[in-house]
Amino acid sequence: MEVGLIRKKVIIANWKMNKILAEAEEFLQEFLPLIQDVDQVEMAICPPFTCLDRMQQKLVDTKVFLGGQNLFYEKGGAFTGEIAADMLKDTGCKYVLIGHSERRHILAEDDDVIKRKLQVAIEAGLIPILCVGETLAERESKQAIPIVKAQLASLQGIKPPIIIAYEPVWAIGTGINASADDAQEMCAIIRQELKAIYDESTAQATIILYGGSVKEENLAGFLNMPDLDGALVGGASLNPLSLANLVRIGENIG
């Protein structure tokens, strides 16, 4: 990355298993007018699969992108209940979340599965958002750094562009967030690991997000850190005014 080049700010909303179509449409009706003059922050929403097509219709000619919350590691076939990368691309997705802690810990996805998902996402032209992070027990036993490095090893052989989201598991949905200093320390380590996996230029150009109980009161602290470029937002993204305020905080800092 050239000296002086600034990575753009990115705010990604992860709605998880929330909102039916009518609620998604109502959200956009309120949210879009609030952010129409934003130009320094890239915005994306990862809604449930059932909302993707309708939301894409509403987001044409807006500055908001779509992302999938997950995908399967095969391109198609007899895989009941799964969704392929090309299906996400066909519904207008730019991004896809991969390796979210809820899928790692609730649905037992391991690093091999995550690597296969990264590969099919890249092949389909999607930008994967690889989620990494340690549990509270791992942090307390001084294993946070080795755990995150092991999760990043899924990137070996995966071509950029990718986005990394550092989400300490103990901060997701708990109301307890890592301090800005804690997040910066880990994100700096992540960037160094990216240098080892790729090269200096790629590492410096890669966007790294923080996720875990992000809200209006703490976002600025994260975004003011040198290695944090944005946020992956869960609960706070379900309210259009709250999400718009988060975007505007990014705009003011960006």
Residues involved in catalysis:
100, 167
Rounded Cα–Cα distance for residues 112 and 125 (Å): 20
Give residue 229's Cα distance to chain centre.
11
Q: Which of 26, 14, 30, 4 is nearest to 244 (CA)?
A: 30
User: How many C-beta atoms surround the C-beta of residue 229 within 10 A?
Assistant: 25
Angle between helices 21-34 and 52-59 (to 10 degrees): 30
User: How many C-beta atoms surround the C-beta of residue 2 within 10 A?
Assistant: 7
Contacts 24+ apart (CB under 8 A), 23-30: 24/51, 24/54, 24/55, 25/54, 25/55, 25/58, 27/238, 27/240, 28/55, 28/58, 28/59, 28/240, 30/240, 30/241
Rounded Cα–Cα distance for residues 216 and 21 (Å): 26
